[in-house]
Structure 1
Amino acid sequence: MSVCKNTLKYALIMMLFLPHFTLAAPEKNTETTSSILYQPTKTALAAQLGWIKDDQYFCGGYYLEEPFLYPQSDKQNVIETTGNQGVFSFHGTSIIKGKVTVNRAGQQITMNEAILYRDPDTGKIYAMDMLGDIHLREPNILVIGKKGYYNFRTKTKSLSNILYRTSVRDKKTKTVKKEDPSQEHKITSMTAWGQSHQFSQTQPKIYELSQASLTTCPPDHPAWQIKASHIVLDKNSGRGYATHARILVKDLPVFYFPYINFPIDNERKSGFLWPTMGISSKWGPYILTPFYWNIAPNYDMTITPGFLSKRNFQLSDNMRYLTETSTGNVNFSIIPNDHFFNDFQKAAPGRAAAGEYGEVNDVTLSELSRLESANTTRKGLSFRDDSQFNDHWSSHVDFNYASDDYFMEDFGSLNAISPNQLLQEGDLYYKGPNWNFIGRLQAYQTLHPIDQSQVLNQYQRLPQLILNGDYPDQALGLEYFINGEVTHFDIFKTPGTTEVLPIGNRLHLQPGVSLPLNWPYFYITPRLQLDMTQYQLSQTADTNTPNSKRVTVPIFDIASGLMFDRELSIFQRVFQQTLEPKVYYTYIPYRNQSSIPIFDTTVNTLTYDQLFNYNRFSGIDRIGDTNQLGAGISTRFIDQASGFEKVRLGIGEIFYFKNRRVTLCESASECFDYPGSYSNEQAVSPITGTMNYHIDPQWNFSIDAIFDPILKQLDNSTFGLHYKPEDRKIINFGYAYASSGSFSGVNLNSNAGNNLRITDFSFAWPLSASMSTVGRWSEDWHQSHLQNLLYGLQYDTCCWAVRMIGGRSLTTFNQTPQYNNEFYIQFALKGIGDIGSGNPGSLLSNITGYNPQFDRDF
């Protein structure tokens, strides 16, 4: 044994398998105290944790980490111990005193005194007592204690009366081949800190604390903290839990949890999520308690039991999956014995008789019968899948189901093309070099709520088979193509109606040939097609439709255009300006199609692009006769330095050489497109124009308009202004006008009293570094009622956030406007989770360009 009074340095080389660090607390080295050691002022406490105040950071400062050795690939088990003086023994106990430092790869421990214990048989050090002002450091970790124990053999440690901090989002520690002391660096990521009577660790990266506190707030201003009898932070699983936990806000207890489980990183982990609580006019006071199950890296499920006080218990499930070929999700919800819905059923006959649902007729009585017979056990299902089997074959499924006509009103959340049309579709795709195929099964579940306007059932495609072939660059430069389709249409009778609509099969073939001719500044493409459609129908008596019908229509068109460009200097910036005039001629002879039912066809909306489409109808049931010339001219301004399109302008119209006889309807009582209608007997179409102007990277302005030169009136227009200088700064304004209430021109009435005029204004804007606001207002000026209203305020700090979002949206306009009112409040304790009355994401998604940054890290 030797005594060293001067500075003593020695290296102890031990082949011990030492991981990150693992801690446990032998009884002989622990002490019980009624108070935590560190009770200094907030400023002194922050200084011990290495907190440096700096207002340029989101949290008002950062943690400064002192230098220490990183792990080394060739010296993982080397320990170096230094001190001012010591008593050294090769077989007994060694004592080192005065500024003792123990270094090993990736870890440093400093203390006032260390007692080293050796194995009497091997002479190797197996444990160490640590006394006085202990500082244990690892990358992004600091633990300060009064007394501790380190067992190298069992790989455990413990400290008593500790102050600690640890980064919530760990960065992977680098490995070096030679000793390389880390430079001191700033920790600006989310960091948790707290105090504890006892700190121990028995497994790598699993920390246990008793009589402890935890927060992610800055140490000089802790807005909230968790105090618990026992806290475990498991960085391996990314979860933490606490028992007998109290959440304190400004030292005031606001929540108590006998047990609480929370995430401590961004990884997906199984466990209960924060509950959702609130009050709704449709649900009453409610609570939802989601449980997240991380089944596998590519499978997960969120199971949400809940209680809706007005209705009953609810169980919802959302499962997501990702495989080598597929991605998808399944949503299911069930509410057994819905009390509120049962009361609604019982009251409906009296309300219907009193005229609350409009005129009592066959439709109303049929919808009432459906309501009375509906099951009070409410269910909803949504399934979506996208699969890619190989380079050629893929599939898509979108299936939605509701148990009754009122599920969407009461609970929503299913994929729907409209609130009362639930899509049920499955597609199989093949894509080859020359041939493409689609096999489709498509239906809609149509909901018929009695408190809304009548909803008509839609035709189903069971099945639809589409095969398209294309062979370009053939002999003489010709291109051959063929489009084929076979579809079986079926439909259920709309409740309350007596007319039986035709059903049956439709076979369609459209072969064609074109000759694309291209030069640097000019192109022309003549094309000839033959459109052939065969119908085999049944249930035709009510509509006087023939059981069999064949239509053959030849189609000839010529597309041509010029392309000019030049350099142009505007405000000291160089642009490439293009000038692109287009002429499109179409000839289609008249074929009588009035006896063919309308399965999937409507009138196309007139736009600039529609000027160069041969058919004014969408779908196959109508091929419009015409002898016309579409002419348009467009120009673009492209920034030469960035390649960014600054401006795009286009204007054009169609010149007709004869009246159009093929129409969608047979009379004005059915729709606007009927024989002899105004639009079918004019020699020119309305003038259509479009403009998109990027004023600068922040401002964008767009407008589309249709002007009738004969009536000298605007048929319809849309206007949009978008401003986004930053992600959190957005202003949107839109205006839409449609003559007779329709952008397509098909409407039951054509008087000016039905003109549609809607404005839509939305914004998101920060009021300060921490506070921001959002809003949306949409108004129907013709009906003089509100369409949508959204308002919200968010306060965001580095360790907590709160936002309040409210909204009102029109659900139906029957006798009077009916609205759905929503209000959400969310609190977030960052690094722990959020709690509130729901997620207002569906409301906020209506603000174009807005990305809600709630619960964001600093």
Structure 2
Amino acid sequence: MPTSERLKLKPLCRIVGLLTAGLAGTQALAEPPKSAAEIDWRAKDELPASVRDQLPAFCDGGYLPSTSEDGVAFGNAVGGNAPLHASGLNARYEIDRSLYLDGDVRLRQGAFQVNGSSARYSQEQGTVSIAGPLVSRGEGFLLTGDSADYQVDTGRFDINTATYLLHGPEIRGSAASLTRLASDRVEIRDGLLTTCGPQQNDWAVVASEIELNREEGFGTAKHVRLEVLDVPVFYWPWASFPIDDRRKTGFLYPEFGSSSADSGAFLAVPYYLNLAPHYDATLTPQYHHGRGLFTELEGRYLSSFGETTLQLGYIGNDSAYKDENPGEDGERWALDATTRASFGYGWTGYGDFSVVSDEDYLGDLNRTLDINTATHLQRKGGFRYRSDAQYFDMYLNDYQTIVDRITEVNKPYAQLPEVIYGGQANAGWFEASLESQYTWFDRDNETLTGLDKAKGQRLRAIPELALPLRSLWGFSRPSVSVDYTRYELDDYSLGDGSFDRTVPVFEWDNGLYFDRQSSLFDIPYNQTLEPRLYYAWADAEADQNYIPDFDSGLKTFQFDQLFQRDRFSGGDRVGDANQLTVALTSRFNDLVTGAERARFSIGQVQYFDDREVTLFGEGAGTRSRSPLAGEVVLHPLDTLEIRSSGLWDPETGDTEEGRSQLVFHSEDYQYLASLGHTYSRGELEQSDVAAVFPVTDSISLIGRWVHDSILDRTVGSLAGLEYNNCCWSVQVVHQNYLTDDEELDSRVLFQIQLKGLGGSGGSSRISDAIYGFEEREERRFGTP
């Protein structure tokens, strides 16, 4: 182009740069143009190591945005706010009218760029018409097409026969035509979208119109078809769906399953309501075969203090329940509410309230309420304060007993209220502390007699004075305390309901610390040897059975109880004690990572007097030594943990109790395994095996089996199959579980997950059954 003609380009003020290079030429297309997804797709072995390591095993590759070929760092400006840069192999200019570019045409304005074979700029209309095959790249997206028009002033970009890729949500697709209205809004006509890899349409959403709004984080579509392997399986006249993690009102994916407890199959259609930034709700109408229409509602409210959650379930006419319980009207319901609040300065508030219409509701209907199958539902609320030196807790606590076979005498007391205070202060070499508790116990006692009828107030206070001596090589802590309890009771059958109890207590806890450094398998480690002596003396009166049992129980003897002076929980019994514990612990600490790789502990209690205090016959003892209590914890790998604890009686040679568990997971949680065994002599012996085992990168087996050796029967099992690829997964699991009436019930759990569009099913129940499954779900669709 002559110099005089190039100088006439200055009136085109929007074009601040025009570069021409080389001679005109033609280039034959050796192959069809690639789609947007194919351009940025990289096979797994072509990805950088940092990206490849984060890719799930079942993904063959991932998207990696290409960098700009001219190395220019684009700004954020769009449309007329930024200059337009253009280049091509050949250029022709019509003064004050048009500019023609041909051969390797490149246009760039701000963060937007497009490459094509030729282009025409109209100065009068402010548009650029580009002939393809063309490629357009912006912040977080890539477009291709046959031809396009670009509005320089507004940034509007219209493409015909287009393909597109959104890098963030990894959504790709095609369209008869596509309009980029702004940097964060795209309209698609006669389009398709999916999150599957290039040329892998395992599932796709096809619609006459689709709009993707990245600023709001959602998309909308009209006349929508869900296609699986190009076969339509579902139709919506209109749909709204998320394209990132932000919340959006709309239908969630239908859920379905089958359970013998639910009288067969069920179908649920959840609808999410994003009502405001600080509160939302999910309404889940569902149909249960044999029962009828059932509805669950969950609402969440977030304030400056904390979060409140309300969950409701209701069925107006449960036909299966009426058949099983003649005389009932079939109306059933449940409510569960929780709240947590933080007021600052160490003060917090909390509340939990649960209620159901009948004892079978949780087993028959509950799927979303945060209530596990239980005999008592708690209603508790209060305030708590905590600082470095003291703590305070005041609450009201009551229960709903939902199992009819529990008698009135065995129902728990309500605490109306309970107040707990504890504090600690240093006085020179000494340490003074106080633990105190005030409780008003209440329950319906009209049908009760004797001590079971009593109710009223209890005050317990334990002041203590200790001399803590600490050093790098050990510690010694002698202490004296007084365990004082005062009762003011109503309906007390043994006389005056006002009485108290005072128990002097002396404790002396001592420990030494030895260590040495060595190495094992070329790994340096530190081994410790920690002997410990603990003496406890408590002069409690032998007969305390004139005191009602409001909240007490006999603790299960295990390794941790070696260093506790009281064998009773609660406050209605204080155990007599004159005993010495001898224990030894050894640890192996990895000096490279700081992890504790192994811990071995063993200990025994020497009793100098018989234990005479009982809880209505339980808790006495005459033997001079306790069983040996031991504990082993091994962490040979970061992904492997082995725990074992037990009681062995050296006098009889019998194992009294034993608990063992092995838990393993691979680093990516694709492999999960756990082995467990629980034993209590003459009472319980159960074995538990669970695993998730990939047979290929895409297919995994899921299973769990629990066997009771005493009953000689299976008390729980779970078996299923999982299929994964990089755009969808499905889990089908059959579960047997033991009900309250000691019968095995069964159900089938489904979960279908479409990457980027959510899923349906009951993976939470699988997570409850198999250790590590929840973490596996979180990693299942990891993206580079």
- TM-score under structure 2 normalisation? 0.88
What is the distance in 2 between the residues matched to 1:650 and 1:423? 37
SS at match of 1:593: coil
Is residue 600–residue 631 contact of structure 2 (8 Å, CA) maintained in 1? yes
What is the distance in 2 between the residues matched to 1:550 and 1:230? 79
What is the distance in 2 between the residues matched to 1:762 and 1:160? 54
Equivalent residue number for residue 627 of structure 2:
686
What is the distance in 2 between the residues matched to 1:265 and 1:41? 38
SS at match of 1:50: helix
Equivalent residue number for residue 222 of structure 1:
201
* 1:400 paired to 2:323: no
Task: Give 1:519 deviation, angstroms.
Answer: 4.0
What is the distance in 2 between the residues matched to 1:637 and 1:8? 82
The range that moved more, 478-487 or 616-625, is: 478-487
Equivalent residue number for residue 507 of structure 2:
557
* 1:491 paired to 2:443: yes
What is the distance in 1 between the residues matched to 2:257 and 2:449? 41
Task: Give 1:719 deviation, angstroms.
Answer: 1.2
Equivalent residue number for residue 477 of structure 2:
525
* 1:652 paired to 2:603: yes
Q: 1:470 aligns with which of 415, 424, 427?
A: 424
Equivalent residue number for residue 268 of structure 2:
288
Q: 2:111 aligns with which of 99, 106, 113?
A: 106
What is the distance in 2 between the residues matched to 1:479 and 1:772? 57
User: Following superposition of structure 1 onto structure 2, how do residues 174-185 of structure 1 map, counting pairs within 5 Å?
Assistant: none
Equivalent residue number for residue 707 of structure 1:
648
SS at match of 1:193: strand
What is the distance in 1 between the residues matched to 2:77 and 2:156? 23
Task: Give 1:562 deviation, angstroms.
Answer: 2.0
Give the 3 Å change call, closer, same or farther, for CA 43–275 of structure 1 in structure 2.
farther
1:42-88 deviation digits (Å, cap 9, x = unpaired): 98655884155625362346466362544237995110223344543
State the one-letter code of the partner of 2:66: E
Task: Give 1:428 deviation, angstroms.
Answer: 1.0
What is the distance in 2 between the residues matched to 1:524 and 1:168? 59
What is the distance in 2 between the residues matched to 1:48 and 1:533? 75
Is residue 199–residue 210 contact of structure 1 (8 Å, CA) maintained in 2? yes
Give the 3 Å change call, closer, same or farther, for CA 113–695 of structure 1 in structure 2.
closer
User: Following superposition of structure 1 onto structure 2, how do residues 419-438 of structure 1 map, counting pairs within 5 Å?
Assistant: 419-438=374-393
Is residue 437–residue 468 contact of structure 1 (8 Å, CA) maintained in 2? yes
Is residue 807–residue 823 contact of structure 1 (8 Å, CA) maintained in 2? yes
What is the distance in 1 between the residues matched to 2:607 and 2:581? 9
SS at match of 2:584: strand
Equivalent residue number for residue 385 of structure 1:
339
What is the distance in 2 between the residues matched to 1:697 and 1:530? 45
SS at match of 2:320: helix
Equivalent residue number for residue 844 of structure 1:
767
Task: Give 1:327 deviation, angstroms.
Answer: 2.7
Is residue 188–residue 211 contact of structure 2 (8 Å, CA) maintained in 1? yes
Q: 2:700 aligns with which of 772, 776, 782?
A: 772
User: Following superposition of structure 1 onto structure 2, how do residues 280-679 of structure 1 map, counting pairs within 5 Å?
Assistant: 280-281=259-260, 282-346=262-326, 372=327, 376-412=330-366, 413-416=368-371, 419-449=374-404, 456-472=410-426, 474-475=427-428, 477-492=429-444, 501-541=453-493, 544=494, 547-591=497-541, 592-666=543-617, 673=618
Task: Give 1:833 deviation, angstroms.
Answer: 2.8
What is the distance in 2 between the residues matched to 1:74 and 1:674? 78
What is the distance in 1 between the residues matched to 2:373 and 2:749? 24
What is the distance in 2 between the residues matched to 1:455 and 1:440? 24
Equivalent residue number for residue 757 of structure 1:
685
Give the 3 Å change call, closer, same or farther, for CA 339–47 of structure 1 in structure 2.
closer
1:78-133 deviation digits (Å, cap 9, x = unpaired): 102233445434533444444433221212223344333334xxxxx622333443
Equivalent residue number for residue 23 of structure 2:
none
Equivalent residue number for residue 258 of structure 1:
237
Equivalent residue number for residue 122 of structure 1:
none
1:249-301 deviation digits (Å, cap 9, x = unpaired): 22222223322322222222222211112333315433222122233444332
What is the distance in 2 between the residues matched to 1:598 and 1:416? 27
Give the 3 Å change call, closer, same or farther, for CA 612–60 of structure 1 in structure 2.
closer
SS at match of 2:610: coil
What is the distance in 1 between the residues matched to 2:521 and 2:90? 77
1:696-720 deviation digits (Å, cap 9, x = unpaired): 3343222111112223211111112
Give the 3 Å change call, closer, same or farther, for CA 852–407 of structure 1 in structure 2.
same
SS at match of 2:765: helix
Structure 2: runs of 5 or more not aligned: 17-28, 46-51, 53-58
SS at match of 2:743: strand
State the one-letter code of the partner of 2:627: P
Structure 1: runs of 5 or more not aligned: 17-39, 120-124, 170-189, 347-371, 667-672, 742-755
State the one-letter code of the partner of 1:67: S
Task: Give 1:810 deviation, angstroms.
Answer: 0.9
What is the distance in 1 between the residues matched to 2:363 and 2:449? 23
What is the distance in 1 between the residues matched to 2:178 and 2:519? 70
SS at match of 2:777: coil
Give the 3 Å change call, closer, same or farther, for CA 454–306 of structure 1 in structure 2.
farther
Equivalent residue number for residue 789 of structure 1:
717
Is residue 583–residue 604 contact of structure 2 (8 Å, CA) maintained in 1? yes
Give the 3 Å change call, closer, same or farther, for CA 5–762 of structure 1 in structure 2.
farther
Is residue 446–residue 456 contact of structure 1 (8 Å, CA) maintained in 2? no
Is residue 5–residue 86 contact of structure 1 (8 Å, CA) maintained in 2? no
* 1:808 paired to 2:736: yes
SS at match of 1:343: helix
Equivalent residue number for residue 696 of structure 1:
637
Give the 3 Å change call, closer, same or farther, for CA 85–660 of structure 1 in structure 2.
closer
- % identical aligned pairs: 27
Task: Give 1:504 deviation, angstroms.
Answer: 0.9
SS at match of 1:623: coil
What is the distance in 2 between the residues matched to 1:849 and 1:811? 25
State the one-letter code of the partner of 2:248: K
Is residue 2–residue 89 contact of structure 1 (8 Å, CA) maintained in 2? no
Equivalent residue number for residue 718 of structure 1:
659
Task: Give 1:13 deviation, angstroms.
Answer: 3.7
1:657-711 deviation digits (Å, cap 9, x = unpaired): 2111110113xxxxxx265xxxx11111111111112233343222111112223
How many correspondences in the alignment? 749
What is the distance in 1 between the residues matched to 2:42 and 2:369? 49
SS at match of 1:845: helix
Equivalent residue number for residue 48 of structure 2:
none
Is residue 102–residue 108 contact of structure 1 (8 Å, CA) maintained in 2? yes
What is the distance in 2 between the residues matched to 1:827 and 1:164? 26
Is residue 315–residue 335 contact of structure 1 (8 Å, CA) maintained in 2? yes
Equivalent residue number for residue 681 of structure 2:
739
* RMSD (Å) for aligned C-alpha atoms: 3.3
What is the distance in 2 between the residues matched to 1:15 and 1:495? 94
Is residue 482–residue 502 contact of structure 2 (8 Å, CA) maintained in 1? yes
The range that moved more, 301-310 or 732-741, is: 301-310
* 1:136 paired to 2:115: no
Is residue 844–residue 852 contact of structure 1 (8 Å, CA) maintained in 2? no
* 1:54 paired to 2:6: no
Give the 3 Å change call, closer, same or farther, for CA 392–557 of structure 1 in structure 2.
same
Is residue 470–residue 481 contact of structure 1 (8 Å, CA) maintained in 2? yes
1:360-380 deviation digits (Å, cap 9, x = unpaired): xxxxxxxxxxxx5x6633221
Give the 3 Å change call, closer, same or farther, for CA 74–497 of structure 1 in structure 2.
same
SS at match of 1:340: helix
What is the distance in 2 between the residues matched to 1:389 and 1:467? 19
Give the 3 Å change call, closer, same or farther, for CA 216–9 of structure 1 in structure 2.
farther
- TM-score under structure 1 normalisation? 0.81
1:148-200 deviation digits (Å, cap 9, x = unpaired): 3333345433222223233243xxxxxxxxxxxxxxxxxxxx24122x22222
What is the distance in 2 between the residues matched to 1:496 and 1:585? 41
